[in-house]
Structure 1
Amino acid sequence: MMQWNWVDAHTAERGMSLLRRLADHGYEGYFVGGCVRDELMGRPINDMDIATNATPEQVLELFEHTVPTGIAHGTITVIVDGEHFEITTYRTEGQYVDHRRPEQVEFVSDLYEDLRRRDFTMNAIARGLDGEYVDPFHGREDLQKGIIRCVGVPGERFDEDALRMVRGLRFASVFDFELEPETWAALLERRELIRYIATERIRVEMEKMIAGSHPVKGIRLLQQSGLVGYMKVNVPCPAARPELLERLEVVAGEPWLLRWTLIMLALGCNDEQARQALKQWTFSNAAVDLVVRLLRLHQQLLTVDMPTAQDTNDKHDVVASQEKSNPARLTLIAGVLHYGQDTAELWQQLYTALPEQDHTPTLRILYEQAPAWIESMQAYSLADLCVNGQDVLSALDTRGGPWLGKLMQQILLAVASGKLDNERNTVLDYARTHAETGGKANA
């Protein structure tokens, strides 16, 4: 009886029920790919993919809830109790177009032929319903040795799909493995083929690499391979501050964008340069915005002026004081209001990754006092104020304009920092005074 140790028991049972149904109707069925590899490595399994000699049409007939997600390439998604399993017909692949994708696929009945087309030996292992492994290319042996080895002739595998070169580096990085010498040599010979690969496909591999356990190793392998020089999108190399790259593993892999923020700092990118670079790398707008906010907050905190003290021994007390006029505190609170509390909390994690020489006295105090200062805030957004813009306009008996937004932000900062009580009459009196002496008068 097959046993799985690294996948949810319900998921394993649902997957095995699919193999049993295939077998009951005279078809072969095997778990293949990442789930088999990760079970052997003792790594958590998220997806269980299945290969079969049943044709896509036969799979569609056999199972009730199906989606023809990749029927042209033989893949049918079968849904069991809301969980998705991809079942793919054994296949061989014809000529590849532009070193990216097969021009055609041919369905076959032989599991060996299906495994022979795969990228690396560790991904070319199958496991049947009896729990036995089918491993014609000695993938388990390579896993034990910590080796990334192409199935068959490495050059042919990379000619077929040049993305496999980046995947190989990603696996070596995440698993802390080494590329087998012939595989590495073939990669170096064919590295220019990476220019055929869409940036989005490379970015997905890079995300997994940087979020993994050994991102520094991945970056070194990328540099040693020379792949970066042939990619469609320019990457500033070498890094302006390579020592920051060495600190990547100090930052938690989740949220993974923290590591990308550190990479942007290492490359010497300011906020707008980072925005442009990440957009070119096809990151989502949400991801780009988070990194940019974090970089801007960091730059803003770097500009805080150190309060002076007659006695240098009192300097810590001067900076760390809870006085409402403390510029460090006001700058942090303004940053929280402008960039969000989540960004400020991420900055605290980023600070811990910075090398010691970056820990200026002011930044150190900001880091140490940030939790207390954030907790002391009387408001975090305009919604927390006791008045809104319309209330201010009514109290001033005037019409709105750009000045109103600036005044509301000024009120928010005053309330958040404790300079102004969040009480209606107090806030409206403040609005009258500052509207007359500030933005409205100049509007």
Structure 2
Amino acid sequence: MEFKSLPKEFLEAKPILEKIDHAGFEAFFVGGSVRDMLLGNPIHDVDIATSAFPEEVKTIFDRTVDTGIQHGTVMVLDHGQGYEITTFRTESTYTDFRRPDRVTFVRTLKEDLKRRDFTINAMAMTKDAKIIDLFDGLLDMKVHSLRAVGNAETRFNEDALRIMRALRFSSQLGFSIEEETKFALQKLASNLEKIAVERIRVEFEKLLMGAYAPKSLELAEKLDILKYLPGNLMSMNLPEFRKALELTHPESTQEVWLLIGYYLNLEKEDLEKFMRSWKTSRADIQAVTSVVPVAKNIINATTYQLYEINQYEELLLSLLNMIQTSPEVINKIYTIFRKMPIKKIQDLSINGSMLIEQAIVAPGPDMGRILKIIEQQVVDEKVPNKQEILLKYAKELVKNEKN
């Protein structure tokens, strides 16, 4: 198969291949960029594979960075772009189920392609737009099938993260997983426990943001893969969660965890433990543990409860939409946010310094407590946010407490 014209991402990188060819070596576009071009999807990073060994690549180009030279990867800096160029290689055993114990550089493209995960990722393209398909990736793409290159069990034993990648590609592309590949997924799922949680999390997030997430999630459940993931996902309301994903899908990782958190029957403390088991960021933990409890009881949410999570207004409204909250309730919540007299305590017309200057209260815990009471009264619109009125109110509070 050949293309008359290449996308601009490849055209911009074409001089790199030409320069390698001119030096007497082979070079091809490989991997996800070729797959995405064939599928008509947006192209991200353009990866290049070559018969030139790393030190040889470095002699061809003036500006290079050793980004992963032990594994054969050198980054070439050219016309303001960085291109990762990786030497054709074979790989030995994978005792950690993630990285090869040893990499051997080779001179033939076929040896390099046959170590890759799935047939749709094992195609290459010349600088003249000719597709090289040694493992029927084009056919699998045509019939929407995700199939491991060679022996599926061997591929997943090499790198257990490929189990999650299979589900992720299925979710993103809507491809079914070929039977032998599916069997290997189930048989070797326990190997996921040997993979770093951070790597699993990235694939899981992408899976749940995919257009076909409900189908892939259901497959993961049927193949007993979910039980090997952190946090006991089997305890959540999976049918309702899948239903929510059918109606809408998260567009950010925070939305992913908000939706998961909503369908987990966990109190705030346990919800935080769940998030930590996935090694999510502090920002994501804070967002989920702040928003989910309010969303679960949104009908009874008070103005002050909404004020306390004011910084997460967009996330809360997004979650309410994802769980199909009625438009009337969403509009009510939106209106409350709009009408709040203050958005944060710094918006009060008075502060601690004023209380001290007026000799209303001394520095210390009492001052913070008094300001907190005033803050809540202003938010609830029981006291107007005017300096003179608030100072008078503060004096009355202190006086009443002393009496």
| 2:31 paired residue number | 33
Identity, % of aligned pairs?
A: 34
Does residue 278 of structure 2 align to residue 295 of structure 1?
Answer: no
Deviation per CA, 1:332-356, whole angstroms, max 9, x where unpaired? 3x23431224x22322222223357
2:388 to 425, 428, 439: 425
Residues 432, 251 of structure 1: alpha-carbon distance in 2 compared, 3 angstrom cutoff: farther
- Where 2:358 maps in the other structure, the secondary structure is helix
Return the match for 1:43 from 37, 41, 44. 41
Q: Secondary structure at the match of 2:188?
A: helix
**Once the two structures are superposed, what CA deviation does each residue of 1:234-279 show, in whole Å capped at 9, x if it has no partner?**
4141434632331124344223322322222223123222211111
Q: Specify the code of the residue in structure 2 equivalent to 1:52.
A: T
Query: Secondary structure of the equivalent of 1:247?
Result: helix
Match of 1:369 in 2: 332
Say whether the 8 Å CA contact 1:170–1:209 is kept in structure 2. Answer: yes
Cα separation, 2, equivalents of 1:196 and 1:164? 13
Q: Which one is further off, 426-435 or 65-74?
A: 426-435
Equivalent position to 1:388, from 351, 354, 362 = 351
Q: Structure 1 CA distance, aligned partners of 2:108 and 2:58?
A: 20
> Within the alignment, does 1:271 sit opposite 2:268 as a pair?
yes
For residues 320-339 of structure 1, the C-alpha deviation after alignment (integer angstroms, 9 at most, x for no partner) is xxxxxxxx6xx13x234312
Give, as a single letter, the amino acid of the residue that structure 2 aligns with 1:18: I
Q: State the one-letter code of the partner of 1:113.
A: E
Q: Name 1:337's counterpart in structure 2.
A: 307
Equivalent position amino acid for 1:136 in 2: L
* Post-superposition offset of 1:426: 1.9
Contact 1:93 1:105 in 2 (8 A): yes
In the alignment, the residues of structure 2 paired with residue 397 and residue 373 of structure 1 have an alpha-carbon distance, to the nearest angstrom, of 32
CA contact (8 A) 1:248 1:259 kept: no
Superposition pairs for residues 53-132 of structure 1, below 5 Å? Answer: 53-132=51-130
After TM superposition, the runs of 4+ consecutive aligned structure 1 residues lying more than 6 A away are: none
CA distance in 1 between partners of 2:77 and 2:234 (Å):
46
Equivalents in 1 of 2:43, 2:251: separation in Å?
18
CA deviations over 1:87-123 (Å, ceiling 9, x no partner): 1111000111132211000001101110010000000
Q: Which residue of 2 aligns with 1:256?
A: 253
Partner of 1:313: none
* CA drift at 1:60: 2.1
RMSD of the alignment, in Å? Answer: 2.3
1:414 matches 2:371 = no
Counterparts of residues 302-317 of structure 1 (less than 5 Å): 302=299, 304=300
TM superposition shift of 1:170: 1.3
Shift of 1:83: 3.1
> With structure 2 as the length reference, what TM-score do the two structures score?
0.92
Residue identity opposite 1:430 in structure 2: Y
2: CA distance, partners of 1:405 / 1:46: 51
Aligned counterpart, 1:315: none
Q: Which amino acid counterpart does residue 363 of structure 2 have in structure 1?
A: G
Aligned pair 1:352/2:317, yes or no?
no
Residue number among 224, 235, 244 corresponding to 1:226 in the alignment: 224
Q: 2:206, 2:367 → 1: CA distance?
A: 45
Q: CA deviation at 1:433?
A: 1.9
Alpha-carbon deviations, 1:338-376, whole Å to 9, x = none? 1224x22322222223357xx6xxxx6542222222222
User: What does 1:157-236 correspond to in 2, within 5 Å?
Assistant: 157-231=155-229, 233-236=230-233
> Given the alignment, which residue of 243, 248, 263 partners 1:246?
243
SS at match of 1:164: helix
SS in 1 for 2:135: coil
Equivalent residue letter for 1:204: V
Is structure 2 residue 262 aligned with structure 1 residue 282? no
CA contact (8 A) 2:349 2:387 kept: yes
Distance in 2 separating the partners of 1:249 and 1:65: 48
Preserved CA contact (<8 Å) 2:226 2:233: no
Q: Secondary structure at the match of 1:43?
A: coil
Contact 1:75/1:86 (<8 A) preserved: yes
1:113-170 Cα shifts (integer Å, max 9, x gaps):
1001000000001111001111100111111111010101111111211221121111
Letter matched to residue 185 of structure 1: F
Residues 214-242 of structure 1 deviation map (CA, whole Å, 9 limit, x = unaligned): 221221111111123334x3414143463
The corresponding residue for 2:5 is 3
In the alignment, what sits opposite 1:24?
22
Unaligned runs of 5+ in 2: none
2: distance between equivalents of 1:222 and 1:348?
29
User: Are the equivalent residues in 2 in contact too, given 1:415–1:422 (CA < 8 A)?
Assistant: yes
Contact 1:119/1:150, CA 8 A, preserved across alignment: yes
SS of alignment partner, residue 92 of structure 1:
strand
AA partner of residue 22 (structure 2): D
Task: Find the aligned partners of 2:347 and 2:83 in 1 and give their Cα distance.
Answer: 46
Size of the aligned set, in residue pairs, is 401
Q: Secondary structure at the match of 1:97?
A: coil
- Which segment is superposed worse, 238-247 or 157-166? 238-247
Q: 1:55 Cα shift? A: 1.2
- Alignment partners' CA distance in 1, 2:292 and 2:180: 42
Compared CA separation, residues 399 and 201, structure 1 to 2 (3 A): same
Residue 86 of structure 1: SS of its match in structure 2?
Answer: strand
